[in-house]
Amino acid sequence: MQKRFARMTRIDDSINAIDGLECWGIKEGKDGLGIVKCEGKISGVFTTNRIKAAPVIVTAEHVKGGSFKGLVVNSGNANAFTGEKGFENAKRMAEILASKLSCKPEEIAVCSTGVIGRQLKMGWIESKMEEVFARLENSREAAKNFVKAITTTDRFLKEYAVKVGDIIIAGVAKGAGMIAPSMKSATTATMLAFLFTDADLEKTEMDGFLLNAVERSFNVATVDGDTSTNDTVLLISTGKKKVERDDKELFRDALTHVCFQLAKMIVKDGEGATKVFEVHVKNARSDEEAFKAAKTIANSLLVKTAIFGCDANWGRIIAALGYSGIEITENITLWFEKDVESEKNGKKGNEKVYLLEKGVQTGFEDEASDFLRKTDDFRIIVELDVGDGKGYAIGCDLTYDYVKLNAEYTT
Amino acid sequence: MQKRFARMTRIDDSINAIDGLECWGIKEGKDGLGIVKCEGKISGVFTTNRIKAAPVIVTAEHVKGGSFKGLVVNSGNANAFTGEKGFENAKRMAEILASKLSCKPEEIAVCSTGVIGRQLKMGWIESKMEEVFARLENSREAAKNFVKAITTTDRFLKEYAVKVGDIIIAGVAKGAGMIAPSMKSATTATMLAFLFTDADLEKTEMDGFLLNAVERSFNVATVDGDTSTNDTVLLISTGKKKVERDDKELFRDALTHVCFQLAKMIVKDGEGATKVFEVHVKNARSDEEAFKAAKTIANSLLVKTAIFGCDANWGRIIAALGYSGIEITENITLWFEKDVESEKNGKKGNEKVYLLEKGVQTGFEDEASDFLRKTDDFRIIVELDVGDGKGYAIGCDLTYDYVKLNAEYTT
């Protein structure tokens, strides 16, 4: 992978790196509102939850047209389980922005995140849309304000941008796999991510690339296994830069890379998490089985608590691997791994601690527990012997603070 | 259900209520050994984990024959992930008991629970088998000792027996959805349950009844969603009592009832759990979908932490219902319910607090939170409008102690 990304560099800018994009956002207490103005094509991937928030239904419909002029996002209220009125409100948000941009409402995307089961305060929303729209600009500050406006319980802002040749892919996201720690009313953790690029792509290509990227990033990221009613990922492309036919695959991988980094930030910001880890499963019967097993391991409460306790409990990993239901034999190699940089010559490498080698215990549990104590970002590698399928997942540990944040802050 | 069980009464005895059954058990520190001697037919249901412990493989094979003479169970060591030697040891345990009972090894069932990845101390096992065998008897004390011997981290013994007409069904179980809180080495939570009856049934009937019961009890009980390498449920029937054709269905339901009660005890004994709850989903498209949704809700970490925090967070329940993937509309009625007995006249009834009525919020969140504070055993009822399928699951809350027990007790 590294080699193919030789032409890819991370840049410090955010979505403001996209020529022609303007944005702004305002956060007032728990409520926020952000707008992005930008002309191009749009693709979207939405929550699979059967209970879909009103803005998800509206935006999923709008995205089908493929033409994009603007995005409006509010935080603090998910506009979910709000019936016909919620639906009208979501459409109204699109109409307001469309009239300001002199475009069709179908060219507007609407997203919401926050409390479930409450109607939006439309008076507040309309007045903030007015305010935010008046300040739209292309600047680093504007991008930061937009991201800040769409956060709920995030402890840090999530931005990641790369340049691949002369093409830019810039993404922002919100989400912390958690719950607004404030009130009696119902809330869920929502993940929103917006990717912008100047690459010139067909709508069908964009759809394919985005789906591929989401399946290898946000869909393998798991904080608590709960799926929100509002999860939305959008890819918007201004089409100003040509993409050579040979570079399409590179674009696809770079987009996946950006999504993966954003997904990892979301997991890192998971409720009370102290450690983020990747699970890589190799030599499975198929990629599909490898992804399934990796996700099952990353989701196991017993694995998550063991990692919190810095306990190199490989039996829990093996048990989770077993109940994932994929084809395995006992001929399993299992190790922990992290990136290290030599202090002497700055060379990059891996530090590894093996727990199982071809099904035989190494007896290095103490070393592995020590490894866990000294890292907050590592990989669990599980090597099988039933094929050449590979897959991965991102997880975080389960801590007292997870329970505390989700149980206690309710009154 | 109540009406059909008019002829069923709970009895105080345990497996000693089965005529001809003898048992005993010894617990020494973390290690234990128990034996049951009893002649009859056997059916079994085993873990679906792809990593199966040696005794599971051995016993699953033996059960196929259908003839049963004895059961030997050890606790403290799961004999899982132990390769060829582990397999030989499991077979050896069956052979020893078979030679004592002058029967074929195939007529013996073997179960293990405890640490994964360590070889059995066969010297200790053989000497304890000798000791326990010498003390086999039919008594309440013997049954208690047997159950005690097979426990690992259980905080209380799990026994439940009923009489249906003149037929007895007596079950014992171990399991607490938890992990031996002691060592660096790998352990998982194992659930073992042994049902004995004197009903005269065909082997194929027994197989069907047991599978049906397990699917409606142990398989809907969830503490942490992790499935062990050793889970085993056995049904043994001495065949001494005739079952009328018309009473077969009653037997099936009584067996399910006994399994359900044992499953609920296991959940109640879940790691650090303070509350046990049932989730009932009604009017789903099919029973299968109802069971799936109930289990998803009972498994949701956000639901489990909310219940620990006595937070009537119906939005989390609805969100879990949504991502379970079953067919739903927003026309949902949702309430909490518990059994109550009138202090005045001893009449039994239900106390209910509604949160949603046909999709509309009732505003009774405060009352519902108060309800949660005053109960440690209740039901969440979710009524849909897409069919007449019904299903249920058993769950418990997620607490600080769960994290503590699974993360901290490792060094």
Q: Measured between beta carbons, which residues in chain B are less than 8 angstroms from residue A182?
A: none
Instruction: Please give the share of chain B, as a percent, with pLDDT higher than 90.
Output: 68
Report which of B103, B100, B52 is spatially closest to residue B79, judged by C-alpha positions: B52
Rounded to an integer, the average pLDDT of B372-391 is 96
8 Å CB contact of A315 and B408: no
Active-site entry in A47, A151, A153, A190: A190
| C-alpha to C-alpha distance for B44 and B224, rounded to whole angstroms | 24
Helices (H), A35-103: 54-65, 83-101
Torsion region of B308: left, alpha or beta (phi above 0 gives left; psi -120 to 50 gives alpha): alpha
Instruction: Please give the share of chain B, as a percent, with pLDDT higher than 70.
Output: 92
Rounded to an integer, the average pLDDT of B369-381 is 95
User: How would you classify the pairing of strands A377-383 and B22-28?
Assistant: unpaired
CB-CB neighbours of B122 under 10 Å: 14
Give the list of residues 6+ apart from residue A380 with CB closer than 8 angstroms, or none.
A277, A278, A279, A280, A297, A317, A334, A335, A336, A337
Q: Is A316 part of the contact surface with chain B (CB cutoff 8 Å)?
A: yes
Residue the block writes with tokens 């053989």: B126
Average pLDDT value over all residues in chain B? 89
pLDDT score, position B126: 97
pLDDT score, position A146: 98
pLDDT per position as a tens digit, A82-128:
989 999 999 999 999 999 999 999 999 999 998 888 899 999 999 99
Range in B89-98, B124-133, B145-154 with the lowest mean pLDDT: B145-154
| C-alpha to C-alpha distance for B382 and B250, rounded to whole angstroms | 27
pLDDT score, position B187: 44
CB-CB neighbours of A221 under 10 Å: 27
Higher pLDDT, A236 or B1: A236
Higher pLDDT, A184 or A259: A259
- For B70, B205, B253, the CA distances from B44, given in Å and listed in that order, are 14, 12, 18
Count residue pairs from A and B with Cβ separation < 8 A: 217
pLDDT score, position A189: 64
8 Å CB contact of A313 and B361: no
| C-alpha to C-alpha distance for B382 and B356, rounded to whole angstroms | 9
pTM of the full predicted structure? 0.78
Rounded to an integer, the average pLDDT of B261-279 is 88
Q: What one-character DSSP code corresponds to residue A30?
A: T
Question: Which range, A112-116, B333-337, B405-409, is most confident?
Answer: B333-337
Examine the pLDDT at A393 and tell me if it is beyond 60.
Answer: yes
pLDDT score, position B225: 57
Structure tokens at B177: 């959805």
Angle at B70 between CA B64 and CA B75, to 5 degrees: 100
Q: Measured between beta carbons, which residues in chain A are less than 8 angstroms from residue B326?
A: 50
Range in A79-83, A152-156, A247-251, B382-386 with the lowest mean pLDDT: A152-156
Range in A92-96, A245-249, B152-156, B247-251 with the lowest mean pLDDT: B152-156
8 Å CB contact of B51 and A330: yes
Residue from the list A83, A226, A398 with its beta carbon closest to the beta carbon of B319: A226
| C-alpha to C-alpha distance for B211 and A28, rounded to whole angstroms | 56
Domains and CATH numbers, chain A: 3-268 (3.60.70.12), 276-407 (3.10.20.340)
- pLDDT tier at A246 (50, 70, 90 boundaries)? confident
Examine the pLDDT at A183 and tell me if it is beyond 60.
Answer: no
Q: Measured between beta carbons, which residues in chain B are less than 8 angstroms from residue A179?
A: 302, 316
pLDDT score, position B227: 66
Helices (H), A195-327: 203-215, 248-268, 287-299, 301-308, 314-323
Examine the pLDDT at B63 and tell me if it is beyond 60.
Answer: yes
Examine the pLDDT at A411 and tell me if it is beyond 70.
Answer: no
Shortest alpha-carbon distance between residue B347 and chain A (Å): 34
8 Å CB contact of A323 and B185: no
pLDDT score, position A1: 41
| C-alpha to C-alpha distance for A235 and A109, rounded to whole angstroms | 11
| C-alpha to C-alpha distance for B174 and B191, rounded to whole angstroms | 6
Angle at B28 between CA B25 and CA B34, to 5 degrees: 20
Higher pLDDT, B98 or B311: B98
Higher pLDDT, A349 or A383: A383
Q: ipTM of this predicted complex?
A: 0.71
Rounded to an integer, the average pLDDT of B354-382 is 94
User: If DSSP codes are grouped into helix, strand and coil, which group holds residue B261?
Assistant: helix
- pLDDT tier at A410 (50, 70, 90 boundaries)? very low
Q: B351 - beta bridge partners?
A: B338
User: How would you classify the pairing of strands A389-396 and A276-284?
Assistant: antiparallel
Residue from the list B309, B325, B403 with its beta carbon closest to the beta carbon of A400: B403
8 Å CB contact of A326 and B81: no
| C-alpha to C-alpha distance for B158 and B230, rounded to whole angstroms | 18
State the best of B275, B295, B311 to mutate against chain A, taking most chain A CBs within 10 Å. Answer: B311
pLDDT score, position A257: 95
Helices (H), A66-191: 83-101, 122-134, 140-150
Please return the burial class of B341, using the count of CB atoms within 10 Å of its CB with bins 0-12, 13-18 and 19+: exposed
8 Å CB contact of A321 and B400: no
- pLDDT tier at A45 (50, 70, 90 boundaries)? very high
pLDDT score, position A221: 82
Examine the pLDDT at B184 and tell me if it is beyond 50.
Answer: no
Average pLDDT value over all residues in chain A? 90
H helix and E strand count, chain B:
11, 16
CB-CB neighbours of A344 under 10 Å: 6
Angle at B160 between CA B174 and CA B63, to 5 degrees: 60
Rounded to an integer, the average pLDDT of A270-274 is 80
DSSP string, A286-316: SHHHHHHHHHHHHH-HHHHHHHHTT---HHH
8 Å CB contact of B186 and A313: yes
Please return the burial class of A67, using the count of CB atoms within 10 Å of its CB with bins 0-12, 13-18 and 19+: middle
Rounded to an integer, the average pLDDT of A277-286 is 97
Structure tokens at B359: 């999709």
- pLDDT tier at A403 (50, 70, 90 boundaries)? confident
Higher pLDDT, A187 or B165: B165
Examine the pLDDT at B322 and tell me if it is beyond 50.
Answer: yes
Rounded to an integer, the average pLDDT of A264-288 is 90
Examine the pLDDT at B181 and tell me if it is beyond 70.
Answer: no
Report which of B390, B109, B63 is spatially closest to residue B211, judged by C-alpha positions: B63
Amino acid at A174: K
Structure tokens at A312: 């190199």
Q: Is B168 part of the contact surface with chain A (CB cutoff 8 Å)?
A: no
Helix (H) or strand (E) holding A373: helix A365-373
